[in-house]
Structure formats: structure tokens, C-alpha cells
A and B are shown apart, each in its own frame.
Chain A
């Protein structure tokens, strides 16, 4: 626990003195003087460099050596066990990079596809967030609403998405609309369940504090329940975002009219046995998943990390 005492606190030393009894450790000295952390001494600097090096080793070098090992195994399998005719299954890594990424005419098309996939991903996710949060707020209003609706949210989650593609195509065609709906269906549940969980796990004492002042339902929702639910909502959002990427690519795999997305490309290169471009597209799709995941983690820390520490419970 640290108290970052700013300059305005220094200006109000008498008041600080009054409050300094219970001392946040290391924050304020008992006599009211504001304890300013000493400038890092050389010894501390040396230690922090060691720690930095340790972090570098643990966070980057170890995962990277696993990656190197992975590439090595790839080369072994591709170069030693596959014949020239079989090699489309697992082309040599440098061929994947050369054909799929460094060849600009190829890569440009992939980037174009990436753009459409990203559009569908975020369109579906946005619809999911709006519908999911609204549904959770509705279920939170009364137990009977929750009991009526929540089982169907679970059902929606458990229906294999591929089983729905046929029916979707009848109603919404083979283009953007169907793809987006797949995204919404697949990413809806984590939003609903986490938002509902967040809304329902507000501390009882805080509820009672509000009850004493008889706020309206909306006031309670806005000032207490929604902010308290934010950390859980972000957990749901992160899961939903990852699923939405999957939904977009699966959707493109099946609904091939309109602009070609990454999923469309995957399907095409697969049928043409174009191993290099197939693998390159797969890599781009994976990268998209990772970036989306990292982005929402960052956003979550940005919004609720200021006050929410999961470990403190």
C-alpha cells in the first residue's frame, strides 16, 4: 500500500498531522512531515537493474526460446520428413514468410481481408455488448426475469455455431449480416453472465448504505451496481472479444459472398493447396486474436485498474 502524497497535501501539513496517526505505512511521518521517498541511491539503482534483467529474462527470453525451439521442430518436420509433393502441408518457415508476407501483392490482399474481419469482429462485439449488458440489467431487476431468460442464454451458448449456419443463410443470406450474427451469438454469453455476476456481487453493506437513503432503482444501478460490476464486465468483454474473432473467421468460412475476410482466404487457400499463403493467413488470424486479447486487457487496466486489485478481494 502506498500513499502518493502530492504537493497539495504538503501545503496542508496541519491537517496531515491530524490524520497521520493511523499511518499508512511509509506515507506520512507521525510528526506530520510528509515523507518523500528518498532519491534512489546507487545501491537501489543497481538492484533495480538486476531486477529489470531478471524480468527481461523471465518475460521475454524464456518464451522466445520456446518459440525458437518451435521453429526448429517446424524445420525438422518440414525439411526432413515431408517429400516435395507433401510439403504444401507444412512449407518451410522462410517460404511461408517469403510467399505469404514479403510478397506484397499477396500480403496486400491479406491485409485487405484482415480489415473486413476486424470490421465484422468489432461490429458483432459491439452489438453483443449492447444486447448483453441490457439483458443482464433486465435479468438483474427481478429473479423471475432471470429465471426465465438465463437458461436460454446458456442454450444459445451451447448450440454448436456450425449447426446454425444453414438456417442463418436462409434468412440473412451469405454476406455481412450472417457473419455478424455468428459473432453476436458466439460472444453474447460471456457478456451476459459476467455482467450479471458483477451486478449481483455488490457488497451487502454498500447496498444497505444506499437503502438508508432510498435511492431510485436507476440511481442505485448507476451509482453503485454498474461501477461495481465493471471489473467483471471487463473479464467478460475480454473473453467475448476473443470469441468474436473466432466468430468472424468461422462466419467468413461459411458465408462467402461479399468482401473476402481472413476466413474466406483460409477456405480458398485450403482448397487450392496453397500451403504458404494458408499458413501466412493463419498466422495473421492468430495475431489478430492475440492483439484483441491484449488490447482489452490494457483497456481494462486503464479503466478499472486504478481502483480494482483482484488479489485484495
Chain B
């Protein structure tokens, strides 16, 4: 397995922002979480992965980020920094909004002046200006997730990994955050690999939806989503949209 983290550049065929080739993951207890997973995410592309619980979706992200190693196969990540948004907001409860957003920039030793500027921009980007001094426990779940997004945005990564970030939120908040995530996606132009349980969310956000099978996990089907960005919120209620969701769901049922 190779794990390259170089800035994107003309390196021949490897122009993908993220590439998995024949990646498998077997845990020490013998569980096979992933077999022969192949996928690529082009720079500036939004790709979602849907699949049943326990099909290795999260393992995919853990390998892509380097939290776990692959047992076999090849993983290329072409980005100087990778944004990882967890299912929980994972905010430090003793730090207020601004200091939480600043955390990763601190860990990466960003120069102070640039850091402060980027923190301000990121807080503005997620619409939390005015809440800088609030502590996490004073915020709603959706607002906490916004802080978590802003924290990654500060580093301005070329590749974003999302591990069911809105899974714990109510439907209304989730849709609102989907709209806003797309706005950020358009504004910043990152490549995204987005894990979710929600077919509708996957179709609404992505240029491509990958369907995974369960145990051992592998990518089973790929559904291209032809809608242009920016996507209006009402797209969710169009017939074409429903038809695509139906197609993804059918693949899921056949798993």
C-alpha cells in the first residue's frame, strides 16, 4: 500500500484527488471490512457512498485519512491537507466557538495572523458570526456541526472526507445544512467523499453515488447524478430526482 500526500500537480495519470485501487481491510479478529474496493474522486468532484450498516463505509474513510491502514491495495490522496468531518461534532467543550474553529490551524502551526483571518472567514462561511464566544453546550446540534465544518474549512483542504456528519440531525436541519454544504462546495471547490445512510442526501449532494454491499464491503454500483450545480432546494421534489433516488434504492435492495 502506498500513501502519497503530495500537492496536486501534473503527475501523469494520478490526477485523481483520491484513488482507491483494490483496497481490502481485514481486522485482527478476522473480520473482513472491505474487499477489493476501487474508487476515484476527481478534483472538485462530490462523491457519496451509501450502503447498509456495517458495510465498511466508515472504514473507507478511516483508510483514506490514514487513521487505519489498508491490508492490501493502493491508496492515493493528492492533497496537502485532508478535511475530516466526523459523525459527532467532536468539539472541545472547554473551548468557545472561535477557539474550536482555531484548533486544527493551531495543531498545524499556522502563522497567527493568517490563522485569525481564516478563522474569521470560516466562521462567517458557516453563518456563525456573532456566536464566537459561545461554548459548545450552549449550541444546538446543527450549530455544533457548523462549528465542526468551519474547523476543517480553516485549513482549506482540497479533499474532504465526511463520515455521516448530519446523521444525528433532524430532517429540517439536515436539509438546510445540505444546501449550505453545497454552497461551500461551490465556493471552495474541494473534492468530497461523503458517507451517508440517506439516499436522498446522497443524490442531492453528489455528482456520483456509489452503492456498497455489506460484509465484506465492496463498491457494487455507481449511479451518476446529472443535475448541474448550483442545485436549488426544490430539486428534491422533482420527478427526475425521485427517479434517481429510486434507482439508488433499488441497488441497495438488491445488495
Contacts and interface: CB of A to CB of B under 8 A. Distances in A.
A108 interface: no
Interface in B154-189: 169, 172-173, 176
Contact of A212 (B66, B106, B126, B143): B66
Contacts of B134: 3
A232 to B, nearest CB: 13
B65 interface: yes
B178 to A, nearest CB: 12
Nearest to B135: A307
Interface in B10-45: none
B237 interface: no
A46 B203 CA distance: 55
B138 A2 contact: yes
Interface in B104-159: 104, 106-108, 124, 126-131, 133-143, 146
Nearest to B155: A213
B204 interface: no
Interface string A105-125: 000000000000000000000
A23 interface: yes
A213 B176 contact: no
Contacts of B139: 3, 24
Given A205-B88, A212-B84, A22 B138 contact: no
A210 interface: yes
B140 A23 contact: yes
A196 B5 CA distance: 36
A1 B90 CA distance: 18
A213 B104 contact: yes
Given A8-B130, A306-B135, A307-B135, A19 B92 contact: no
Interface stretch (A10-18, A175-183, A259-267): A10-18
A219 interface: yes
Contacts of A209: 84, 86, 90, 104
A4 interface: yes
Contacts of A18: 127
B137 A1 contact: yes
A2 B106 CA distance: 29
Contact of A219 (B84, B88, B94, B107): B107
Nearest to B67: A208
Interface in A245-279: none
B67 A211 contact: yes
B88 A12 contact: no
Interface in A269-310: 304, 306-309
Interface residues of A, number: 43
A305 to B, nearest CB: 11
A117 B191 CA distance: 66
A4 B138 CA distance: 8
Nearest to B144: A22
Nearest to B84: A212
Residue with the highest number of chain A CB atoms closer than 10 Å, among B136, B138, B146, B169: B138
Interface string A206-222: 10111111010001000
A195 B143 CA distance: 32
Contacts of A304: 94
B86 to A, nearest CB: 5
B7 interface: no
Contacts of A19: 126-128, 130-131, 143, 146
Interface in B70-122: 82, 84, 86, 88, 90, 92-94, 103-104, 106-108
Given A219-B107, A309-B137, A205 B86 contact: yes
B90 to A, nearest CB: 4
A11 B67 contact: no
A239 B127 CA distance: 44
A213 B108 contact: yes
A168 interface: no
Contact of B124 (A15, A213, A224): A15
Given A1-B138, A24-B140, A307-B135, A206 B90 contact: yes
A63 interface: no
A24 B143 contact: yes
Given A12-B129, A212-B67, A307-B93, A22 B143 contact: yes
A96 to B, nearest CB: 47
A16 to B, nearest CB: 5
Nearest to B126: A19
B137 A307 contact: yes
Interface of B: 65-67, 82, 84, 86, 88, 90, 92-94, 103-104, 106-108, 124, 126-131, 133-143, 146, 169, 172-173, 176
8 contacts: A1-B140, A19-B130, A21-B173, A24-B139, A24-B140, A205-B86, A209-B86, A227-B94
5 interchain residue pairs of minimum CB distance: A22-B142, A18-B127, A15-B129, A12-B130, A9-B130
